[in-house]
Amino acid sequence: MTWAKTGSYCLMHFVVAMTVAYALTGDLAAALAIGVVEPFVQTFAFAVHDRYWSRVEGRRQLRCGGDPCRAHGGLLWAELRSGRGLIRLPVVKTVSYSVMHLIVAVTVAFALTGSLAAALAIGLIEPVVQTFAFVLHDRAWSRHEARRRSAEAVPALARVTARF
């Protein structure tokens, strides 16, 4: 079931990216190119980003015997010198991922359209639409999986009660 869910998410991502790109550019060829190319480039960028942060987290884990970082409840905390106290390292990682995603989306859209305005619009709007689409996709799969579990439980219950 995981592969089916992943595949449907991938298809949804392509459709949303293409639809947003087409709505903003009016160019079907550019929309198709953006919808196909951008997710592949994002996947490569994510791998590089994730590898970098795995190394950062590994180094911090080695140094977490005291300040300025420490392990807390299974999460790493890093003290930033901004005077704001402790901030969870995953928050910093998430923000850096968001910035990286924006840069990749804008760069790919610009390379394929030649329009900075369209590239900025796609880079800013597409992730927001993807977020809403993800929520709907996740809810649909949760309902599907709940129905599947319920259907599997009924025959199991019938076998148990048949024994008595």
Residue-wise pLDDT for 39-71, tens only, equals 888 777 877 877 887 777 667 666 655 444 444
Within 10 angstroms of residue 133's Cβ, the number of other Cβ atoms is: 18
**Among all chains, which residue has been given the structure tokens 């030649």?**
114
Pick the more confident residue, 14 or 54.
14
With 80 as the cut, is the pLDDT of residue 36 above it? Answer: yes
Single out the residue of 39, 3, 46, 6 nearest to residue 112, CA to CA.
39
Global pTM value: 0.60
| pLDDT for residue 155 is more than 70 | no
Work out the burial of residue 19: count CB atoms within 10 Å of its CB; fewer than 13 is exposed, 13-18 middle, 19 or more buried: middle
Q: Average pLDDT, stretch 142-151?
A: 84
Output the 3-class SS for 42-66. HHHHHHHHHHHHHHHHHHHHHHCCC
**Which residues make Cβ contacts (< 8 Å) with residue 19, sequence separation at least 6?**
31, 35, 129
* Partners of 79 in beta bridges: 86
Query: For all residues of the chain together, what is the average pLDDT?
Result: 76
Of 39-48, 70-79, 116-125, 136-145, the one with minimum mean pLDDT is: 70-79
**68 upstream amide cis, omega within 30 of 0:** yes
Question: Residue 104 has what pLDDT?
Answer: 87
pLDDT at 23 > cutoff 80: yes
Q: How far is CA 164 from CA 152, 157, 158, 159, in A?
A: 20, 11, 10, 9
Q: Kindly state the DSSP code that residue 86 receives in the 8-state scheme.
A: E
Provide the pLDDT confidence category of residue 126 given band limits of 50, 70 and 90: confident
Do 46 and 59 form a contact (C-beta atoms < 8 A)?
Answer: no
pLDDT above 90 covers what percent of the chain?
A: 21
Arithmetic mean of pLDDT, 133-158: 78
